[in-house]
Structure 1
Amino acid sequence: MGDPDLLEIMEEEGKGSSRDPCYDFPMSEQSLNSTETSFLISKESTPAKRYNLFLRRRLMFQKSKQSKDSIFFRDGIRQIDFVLSYVDDIKKDMDIKAERRKEFELNLRKTGLELEIEDKRDSEDGRTYFVKIHAPWEVLVTYAEVLGIKMPIKQSEAPPPENTHLSSILGPVKLPVKLKYPHPEYFTAQFSRHRQELFLIEDPATFFPSSTRNRIVYYILSRCPYGIEDGKKRFGIERLLTSNTYLSAYPLHDGQYWKSSEPPNPVNERYILYQNWARFSDFYKEQPLHLIRKYYGEKIGIYFVFLGFYTEMLFIAAVVGLACFIYGLLSMEGNTNSIEICDPEIGGQMIMCPLCDIVCDYWRLNSTCLASKFSHLFDNESTVFFAIFMGIWVTLFLEYWKQRQARLKYEWDLVDFEEEQQQLQLRPEFEAMCTHRKLNPVTKEMEPHMPLCSRLPWYFLSGATVTLWMSLVIASMVAVIVYRLAVFATFARFMESEASLQQVKSFFTPQLATSLTGSCLNFIVILILNFFYEKISAWITKMEIPRTYQEYESSLTLKMFLFQFVNYYSSCFYVAFFKGKYVGYPGKYTYLFNVWRSEECDPGGCLIELTTQLTIIMVGKQIFGNIKETIYPLALNWWRRRKARTNSEKLYSRWEQDHDLESFGPLGLFYEYLETVIQFGFVTLFVASFPLAPLLALINNIVEIRVDAWKLTTQYRRTVASKAHSIGVWQDILCGMAVVSVATNAFIVAFTSDIIPRLVYYYAYSTDATQPLRGYVNNSLSTFLIADFPNNTAPSEKRDFTTCRYRDYRFPPDHENKYFHNMQFWHVLAAKMTFIIVMEHIVFLVKFLLAWMIPDVPRDVLERIKLEKLMTIKILHEFELNKLKENLGINVDERVKKHVMIEENKV
């Protein structure tokens, strides 16, 4: 009887009823002391019997034979639902922290939770204590009722999904039915501890999934008090983690991910997920979404549902985009523009004006022959079709996602879901900073309150910080532009020598070389700014002192999205809508800071430069993101395990193994959603310039799903399960980007590509009936008299020709209105504006029609929701009626017996 754990248990057995300090429920003796094993034996068993059984099992257990993968207490019976860890900090506030822990753990025991502490001498590093927490049956049923958790009451008679012809074709992609649907479909109802007979409780030990168990325990941990400080009641594990009273708090994984569990451990769902979800060799298979939800909870589950659905929809866009690219590839050799530019008798005879002052020389148009062919890949007739198609695709994607989300709500019992209360809980930092209290009109209790005047300075600082960093992004973009202008002359000096006036066809023109290096430099700057801003935005959001976790996440979302929108897209917006639009003309160029000439586009337009910019940033971001998500947790975990394994003779237990893993953190999903939304912007906002963007996004997402699955399953601690019925504010952001994408793609087709000027020439100015586009290149170039060059801009080397050509629609030097815009310029401008208006109206009309035609909730889901509500009411009614009849029957029998006894006594 010298075992301290047994003494502690015996003391617990002797206690009477208590009250939950977190909630004012009366907690029975059974709720404080019973185990799931005693529940299986008899609900009516006395405390002495329960103790005797537990004592026998405890004395039979030998700790030396405990498996390192065990997820049970030392008795081998009670499952570990949560783990807390701490070290004795002798440097700072050791006594205060110890007192907090003592009070906190005492109050946890009063709520009915059972605790077991592992001494630091038994840990691998010799300095960490582990507090293992088990939630007994009565605690689970009590808080399942408090949280309104829905549990099965009757198996649905709906037939299981059948294999169709399409399913047989997609057989290799499909998962086995038992894995895809790990349990039958049930009718469910909110759990009630007074109606336990109503629910399908076959085994209390497995009735509540481990994700539900850890959610309930975390709910208790987040509300349990640990003392009074400065006259205020302090509570919650989050505050204790913030003050380093505890190092970590986490639920356990089921076991090792590389091997299945052995009895008495339950089925290792982590291993099943790794084998069927997290391995890269299964990249082509669908995801076991129901098992993900069961293991990690609805919030993480719905992220993977969204990512998978988005990837499936990208497949359609990728196929169409690839078809447009193949069309451009097949029509490249027959493109009239490229033929004329490459022709020595046409493009070879056109002397182009210098692209910079003094040091740049004249050059022949056919030197851009290969670049013009490459430009045709993305700037052809299919560009307009693909821009319109993507405007419709994004509408279909969002509407069908609403349907998928509605179906998911029904399948995951989220129809009547209310906001997760953890998100509405006051943040410890808010309570610590508050000096005022205010009466809550709903609860009629005094709550911490921070007046607006106290927050206002931080709001101003936050707004100023965000504005400053967005301005810094713009300044960085301008610096890259200056770099490109400054080095262009250097490239031109090396690449535009005498050869530029020869019949030379070159792919790496000064424009392209400058664009490539500038895009790479811009991508590096984006990554650097993004790294520092993430730290600053998190700090400034904390300084705003948000009241709840939901307010904190919303504030951070706004800051991060605004910054990353500007950071990743500003350079693309510049190339698409500003570059080459304000150049001027020879002799009267526009200068940046009165020093550098504004950048000009290639004679074929700026679309190829936009494609280059988009490709480098999008592909670079995706590759860097996947490498970071793989290497970062892997390296940290290796280093942490290396430092922890100092006492190799000690048992490296399940809780220590998980302790050495990286924490996913409350904002882990936030950054995953942000990454996906930024990619969505690349796919939609500028897709008219790069039809292969959906294909690249598709390939990345196939890898991304497995990378996220791998790191969650193998490199991160198990997250606390939490509910979510949608992707939240991200859906509003996606809808906003979808609307903006219609305008951006219309402007790209009109002002960045060369399709509209070609169409105007085709229908209004062409004189060749057999080949209407013949002569377009010559028509699109204006003529400038070399003698009109100012001395400070003319090339230093004199030439024997008198005129040069430049891209614009202006009158020639011999016209009375020389160098003014001619009528064709206004025709082209009118055609561009008309195209923008027509395209936007067509796409928006189709969008609104599709949104109206496609219901947010499918009809079959509505019918099943109504059926489930009716069946639930019917089942509850029958249960209460039978219970009432049973009670009435007992009472009638008792009255009859009493009446008979009275009559017999009379006789």
Structure 2
Amino acid sequence: MGDPDLLEVLAEEGEKVNKHIDYSFQMSEFQKNQQSKDSIFFRDGIRQIDFVLSYVDDVKKDAELKAERRKEFETNLRKTGLELEIEDKRDSEDGRTYFVKIHAPWEVLVTYAEVLGIKMPIKESDIPRPKHTPISYVLGPVRLPLSVKYPHPEYFTAQFSRHRQELFLIEDQATFFPSSSRNRIVYYILSRCPFGIEDGKKRFGIERLLNSNTYSSAYPLHDGQYWKPSEPPNPTNERYTLHQNWARFSYFYKEQPLDLIKNYYGEKIGIYFVFLGFYTEMLFFAAVVGLACFIYGLLSMEHNTSSTEICDPEIGGQMIMCPLCDQVCDYWRLNSTCLASKFSHLFDNESTVFFAIFMGIWVTLFLEFWKQRQARLEYEWDLVDFEEEQQQLQLRPEFEAMCKHRKLNAVTKEMEPYMPLYTRIPWYFLSGATVTLWMSLVVTSMVAVIVYRLSVFATFASFMESDASLKQVKSFLTPQITTSLTGSCLNFIVILILNFFYEKISAWITKMEIPRTYQEYESSLTLKMFLFQFVNFYSSCFYVAFFKGKFVGYPGKYTYLFNEWRSEECDPGGCLIELTTQLTIIMTGKQIFGNIKEAIYPLALNWWRRRKARTNSEKLYSRWEQDHDLESFGPLGLFYEYLETVTQFGFVTLFVASFPLAPLLALINNIVEIRVDAWKLTTQYRRTVASKAHSIGVWQDILYGMAVLSVATNAFIVAFTSDIIPRLVYYYAYSTNATQPMTGYVNNSLSVFLIADFPNHTAPSEKRDFITCRYRDYRYPPDDENKYFHNMQFWHVLAAKMTFIIVMEHVVFLVKFLLAWMIPDVPKDVVERIKREKLMTIKILHDFELNKLKENLGINSNEFAKHVMIEENKAQLAKSTL
């Protein structure tokens, strides 16, 4: 039976049980002093508002058609048993908006609770909550009060059944179903309620009416104001509790009231905050280790032999380096990069290797422990037997509108809308071409930034490395660093611009693909957005890490980009400091921009909307009008939150060997992010429709993919971008000083070039008295028969780099697989709790059925004993399966 048919059957039953009077047409005209502006009830003060629809008379386009649709839709809603109350536009604050308030009576709730398989409590659980460990008392200041952390007792639950109502703990019908379940049930009815027949097809669903602007909005109400508790007769204001204990920035160090979040917003939003909180907790350990590595670099900076030799006027000050660009650049002294070399040591030292290996293991522990946290959450939130949310699997109105064919569903044996593959193929090609085009645009923009860096490099070099550098002036702002800073800032601006346009285009082309369900739509959009974000945010970091300075050539035979610009060289201390600069600017800039945008954007929109709406101050600014003037979170609001977190995860893992402080920056950002998200959800957005989810979905697969890739990227960064491997090779194979093995490393790492060998078009325009200059490479000197060819040390270093990559990847992957094997996906205590709950649920149901059977059979003991034996056998069989 399809959804519309099911709705008709339930509507017939609803008409039988719902013998109410439509109060919206019989009560007197609304008066301001009859109701509090914070009331969440109908005018009678008894029936709670579960959902609100709003619309504005549109006299410009299809006004009569829309009015007819609304009339038919609201008539059908009443037939299902829902109660409606309409607020005239004359009573609204702006004088033009109608509000349709919806209440679901008891019979509707119990009917659809059974249809949706909602689990409700049957007995208070006898399984104790996890006990605090000794370390928990140390964490006392971060704990929330138990009444906030656990707002309700734990219960054994079972799927609700109308015919077993006596089984459930129903103390008050008005409060038995929480508001999140009530709005979920009403939305289920709204999404399947028909509003007419057009073009021979039955049209149904609130989403289609919203898309056609028949209704302007549909939303459940918040419990009350976020800045004050509710007053009777309103129920407990969970929104106020959430704001006080979760959304305040002064509570940044406190744990989150996860159960309360789940109860108010539903499991799907709840699990996002569980994930964000768990990820932030795990970042704490990575941040501590990363900070320790940074402190080690800071303490050892003054004792670093390489930077000491570079800064020494008698060593680095006597080394004349080859020009950094053709003709306009002059020779320069190595000690002019003294401060830059010291700063480079902060991130390029012996701890770099340790931290790269540590992060490879950390990411495995994070993902494995997240599996356990997710399994524990499934038990605590009653999601063990969860089936995919039906509203995610329902057909999208756009899909049904575009379908001209119907096909028999092999499972349901019913005719369903069907779109042949050949009608979708053109859109798939368009989608693929668009994604490819935009990813190419990202690469093109990156090349443009590289061209900018090459173009302005000569300007910086000629300005900063003229005669002043030959006079041994020491400066942190070398041409490489200066160009890298300006190029990174420009690249970040380009990234934000491209990201803004691509978000709009990706949503458009995903709609053009005409996905069948909301789940297919979200999966398709996720793939497009992640691919683009990956290329957009990480491409410049990949360039600096793996390409810059690797194919430069040597003086007299440099490589050129487009035969015009000479390839970029790395600083004498290596390219790692430039990768660190690039990563810091993009990561920090994105996080700051994202938090400001998330806070300012809804705040400004809501202020402007309220300013326009409040034109009649003498009117009652009611609860539904206040929520109407808030920003809508939207079906993709959570998608962008996940995308932001996963993008940050990439910065923390893929390039962390170059920047040990990345986890610390991510930790600080996430502490702020949690409170910003909490603040905007509780104060700036309408309440979302509660929906279920038992995991973070496709994002978990993306995290696993990035975790595997991060092992390779960090191994290559240490090997080819860092200077650690060449130092180790020199230390063990080429050093001649037994007491100070690293003495002479700088001189050893620089090759000699004869100035006379410069081609005319590349030699500096100003003549100097120098005979030779130095450049970073391992090549034979000009007086050798293998002049300027790579020497043996180059091959030794290359072999050491490849060996390090192979060894590090195998060690980290081996540890990853061992940890994944040793750490169970579901903790043992959770397995036992699940078994215990299933057993108790079966026993409770068994006892209930036996008692009911005894009542039906009366005093016939023999017959009753016979049935008892049958039921006990069934229970025993069920117990044995556990």
Contact 1:22–1:224 (8 Å) recurs in 2: no
Aligned to 1:333, the other structure's residue is in SS state: helix
Q: CA separation in 2, counterparts of 1:443 and 1:29?
A: 22
Q: CA deviation at 1:801?
A: 1.0
Aligned to 1:792, the other structure's residue is in SS state: coil
Indicate which of 589, 596, 603 corresponds to 2:572: 603
Aligned to 1:71, the other structure's residue is in SS state: coil
Aligned to 1:69, the other structure's residue is in SS state: coil
Q: CA deviation at 1:444?
A: 1.4
Query: What corresponds to 1:692 in structure 2?
Result: 661
**Higher mean Cα deviation, 58-67 or 327-336?**
58-67
Indicate which of 761, 779, 782 corresponds to 2:751: 782
Contact 1:32–1:113 (8 Å) recurs in 2: no
- The amino acid across from 2:856 in the alignment is N
Indicate which of 704, 723, 726 corresponds to 1:754: 723
What do the CA deviations read for 1:485-523 (whole angstroms, capped 9, x no partner)? 000111112111111111211111111110000000000
What do the CA deviations read for 1:352-381 (whole angstroms, capped 9, x no partner)? 000000000000000000000000000000
Contact 1:31–1:137 (8 Å) recurs in 2: no
Indicate which of 618, 629, 643 corresponds to 1:649: 618
Q: Does 1:93 align with 2:76?
A: no
Q: CA separation in 2, counterparts of 1:319 and 1:731?
A: 25
- The amino acid across from 1:265 in the alignment is N
Contact 1:61–1:75 (8 Å) recurs in 2: no
Aligned to 1:318, the other structure's residue is in SS state: helix
- The amino acid across from 1:698 in the alignment is L
Q: Which residues of 2 match residues 310-329 of structure 1 at below 5 A?
A: 310-329=279-298
Q: Which residues of 2 match residues 760-839 of structure 1 at below 5 A?
A: 760-839=729-808
Query: What corresponds to 2:870 in structure 1?
Result: none
State the superposition RMSD in angstroms: 2.0
Indicate which of 343, 347, 350 corresponds to 1:378: 347
Indicate which of 371, 384, 393 corresponds to 1:402: 371
- The amino acid across from 2:262 in the alignment is R
Indicate which of 603, 622, 629 corresponds to 2:591: 622
Query: What corresponds to 1:506 in structure 2?
Result: 475
Aligned to 2:6, the other structure's residue is in SS state: coil
Indicate which of 141, 148, 166 corresponds to 2:110: 141
Q: CA separation in 1, counterparts of 2:17 and 2:718?
A: 71
Q: CA separation in 2, counterparts of 1:368 and 1:523?
A: 26
Q: Does 1:155 align with 2:138?
A: no
- The amino acid across from 1:712 in the alignment is L
Q: CA deviation at 1:207?
A: 0.7
Q: Which residues of 2 match residues 273-422 of structure 1 at below 5 A?
A: 273-422=242-391
> Compared with structure 1, are the counterparts of its residues 624 and 54 closer, same or farther at alpha carbon in structure 2 (3 Å cutoff)?
closer
Contact 2:11–2:79 (8 Å) recurs in 1: no
- The amino acid across from 1:23 in the alignment is L
* Structure 2, unpaired ranges of 5+: 863-882
Q: Does 1:198 align with 2:167?
A: yes
Q: CA separation in 1, counterparts of 2:682 and 2:56?
A: 27
- The amino acid across from 1:721 in the alignment is A
Q: Does 1:224 align with 2:197?
A: no
- The amino acid across from 1:199 in the alignment is F
What do the CA deviations read for 1:733-760 (whole angstroms, capped 9, x no partner)? 0000000000000000000000000000
- The amino acid across from 1:196 in the alignment is Q
Q: Which residues of 2 match residues 456-855 of structure 1 at below 5 A?
A: 456-855=425-824
Q: CA deviation at 1:52?
A: 11
Query: What corresponds to 2:235 in structure 1?
Result: 266
What do the CA deviations read for 1:411-457 (whole angstroms, capped 9, x no partner)? 00000001111111111111111111111111111111111111101
Aligned to 1:172, the other structure's residue is in SS state: helix
> Compared with structure 1, are the counterparts of its residues 549 and 200 closer, same or farther at alpha carbon in structure 2 (3 Å cutoff)?
same
Q: CA separation in 2, counterparts of 1:164 and 1:404?
A: 17
- The amino acid across from 1:269 in the alignment is E
Contact 1:22–1:223 (8 Å) recurs in 2: no
Q: CA separation in 1, counterparts of 2:3 and 2:516?
A: 26
Q: Does 1:120 align with 2:89?
A: yes
Q: CA separation in 2, counterparts of 1:27 and 1:636?
A: 40
Aligned to 1:84, the other structure's residue is in SS state: strand
Query: What corresponds to 2:872 in structure 1?
Result: none
Q: CA deviation at 1:574?
A: 0.1
> Compared with structure 1, are the counterparts of its residues 124 and 864 closer, same or farther at alpha carbon in structure 2 (3 Å cutoff)?
same
- The amino acid across from 1:809 in the alignment is Y
> Compared with structure 1, are the counterparts of its residues 763 and 175 closer, same or farther at alpha carbon in structure 2 (3 Å cutoff)?
same
Indicate which of 10, 16, 23 corresponds to 2:6: 23
Q: CA separation in 1, counterparts of 2:627 and 2:23?
A: 28
Query: What corresponds to 2:78 in structure 1?
Result: 109
Q: CA deviation at 1:29?
A: 9.2
> Compared with structure 1, are the counterparts of its residues 118 and 22 closer, same or farther at alpha carbon in structure 2 (3 Å cutoff)?
farther
Query: What corresponds to 2:153 in structure 1?
Result: 184
Q: CA separation in 2, counterparts of 1:190 and 1:356?
A: 74
Contact 1:228–1:234 (8 Å) recurs in 2: yes
- The amino acid across from 1:202 in the alignment is E
Q: CA deviation at 1:168?
A: 2.2
What do the CA deviations read for 1:183-240 (whole angstroms, capped 9, x no partner)? 1111111111100000011111111110000000000000010000000000000000
Q: CA separation in 2, counterparts of 1:710 and 1:770?
A: 60
What do the CA deviations read for 1:95-153 (whole angstroms, capped 9, x no partner)? 10011001100110111100000000000111100000000001101111111111111
> Compared with structure 1, are the counterparts of its residues 542 and 651 closer, same or farther at alpha carbon in structure 2 (3 Å cutoff)?
same
> Compared with structure 1, are the counterparts of its residues 213 and 491 closer, same or farther at alpha carbon in structure 2 (3 Å cutoff)?
same
- The amino acid across from 2:498 in the alignment is L
> Compared with structure 1, are the counterparts of its residues 447 and 53 closer, same or farther at alpha carbon in structure 2 (3 Å cutoff)?
closer
Q: CA separation in 1, counterparts of 2:861 and 2:732?
A: 97
Q: Does 1:243 align with 2:212?
A: yes
Q: CA separation in 1, counterparts of 2:331 and 2:140?
A: 62
Q: CA separation in 2, counterparts of 1:233 and 1:29?
A: 18
Q: CA separation in 2, counterparts of 1:383 and 1:428?
A: 54
- The amino acid across from 1:235 in the alignment is F
* Structure 1, unpaired ranges of 5+: 1-18, 36-49, 894-907
Contact 1:322–1:691 (8 Å) recurs in 2: yes
Q: CA separation in 2, counterparts of 1:60 and 1:436?
A: 49
Q: CA deviation at 1:32?
A: 4.5
What do the CA deviations read for 1:660-714 (whole angstroms, capped 9, x no partner)? 0000000000000000000000000000000000000000000000000000000
Contact 1:352–1:363 (8 Å) recurs in 2: yes
Q: CA separation in 2, counterparts of 1:779 and 1:626?
A: 48
What do the CA deviations read for 1:268-295 (whole angstroms, capped 9, x no partner)? 0000000000010100000000000000
Q: Which residues of 2 match residues 873-892 of structure 1 at below 5 A?
A: 873-889=842-858
Q: Does 1:447 align with 2:416?
A: yes
Q: CA separation in 1, counterparts of 2:490 and 2:747?
A: 35
Aligned to 1:23, the other structure's residue is in SS state: helix
Aligned to 2:686, the other structure's residue is in SS state: coil
Q: CA deviation at 1:24?
A: 5.5
Q: CA separation in 1, counterparts of 2:479 and 2:849?
A: 83
- The amino acid across from 1:500 in the alignment is S
What do the CA deviations read for 1:785-827 (whole angstroms, capped 9, x no partner)? 0000000000000000100000000000000000000000000
Count of matched residue positions in the alignment of Structure 1 and Structure 2: 862
TM-score, normalization by structure 1 = 0.93
Q: CA separation in 1, counterparts of 2:4 and 2:32?
A: 33
Aligned to 1:144, the other structure's residue is in SS state: helix
> Compared with structure 1, are the counterparts of its residues 27 and 615 closer, same or farther at alpha carbon in structure 2 (3 Å cutoff)?
closer
Contact 1:119–1:130 (8 Å) recurs in 2: yes
Q: CA separation in 1, counterparts of 2:424 and 2:133?
A: 60
> Compared with structure 1, are the counterparts of its residues 507 and 103 closer, same or farther at alpha carbon in structure 2 (3 Å cutoff)?
same
Q: CA deviation at 1:159?
A: 2.7
Q: CA deviation at 1:641?
A: 0.3
> Compared with structure 1, are the counterparts of its residues 195 and 481 closer, same or farther at alpha carbon in structure 2 (3 Å cutoff)?
same
